[in-house]
Amino acid sequence: MRIKAKHILYAGAFIVLTIIGIFLVPKNEEIIISNSNGKSGDINSKVETIFVHIDGAINEPGIKVVPKYTRLFELIELSGGTKENADISRLNLASVLKDEQKVVIPEKINEENSKESITYSSKTINSGIVNINSADKEGLSTLPGIGPAMAQRIIDYRNNNGMFNDIEDIKNVTRYR
């Protein structure tokens, strides 16, 4: 009799924990997937969504609501594609987007129309602006507080994780090794 009571106790505990677990699991937002004509379809799907701001050389800039784990190339498609002057070679199109992220699609630099010349060795503009997504070690070292070691860590981070999509991403680079 004791073995049977023990099994009943275990089964009861399992059922109680399962019920508690169901109520503790966060609920996803419910969104209605729309057809291209803007009318809602018959498909109701529970999908967790994020908000992303896209700007720059994109046909339809603005704040987009997309499913969690959307990749940059999907956001570009959703935003009507890029303009002719877009330079997507500087972006990691496979990167997964994050909630509250801002993505700026860069423009190609046209030397004929540019009033500033480009230093290709460090990929800096003579005005003193350094692009942390493309600058080499020497160019990064010209930034205040960035020495050769930190510049190398920035390059290593960029090579391992893709380009910086947001200014806050630079905080992910470790200060000391």
Please give the Cα distance from 131 to 119 (Å, whole number): 12
What residue has token string 């806050």? 168
- pTM for this model (two decimals): 0.42
Instruction: Return the closest-CA partner of residue 105 out of 54, 33, 153.
Output: 54
Per-residue pLDDT at 25: 62
Please give the Cα distance from 128 to 150 (Å, whole number): 19
Per-residue pLDDT at 4: 77
> Using one digit for the tens of pLDDT, what is the confidence trace for 72-96?
999 999 999 999 999 988 889 999 9
> Using one digit for the tens of pLDDT, what is the confidence trace for 114-134?
444 333 333 333 445 778 888
H/E element, 21: helix 2-24
Beta bridge partners of 53: 63, 102
Q: Answer yes or no: is pLDDT of 103 > 80.
A: yes
DSSP string, 56-73: ESBSS-EEEEEETT-BHH
Least confident of 33-47, 62-76, 103-117: 33-47
| Four-residue CA torsion sign, 73, 75, 78, 80 | negative
Mean pLDDT calculated for residue range 99-125:
61
Q: Answer yes or no: is pLDDT of 61 > 90.
A: yes
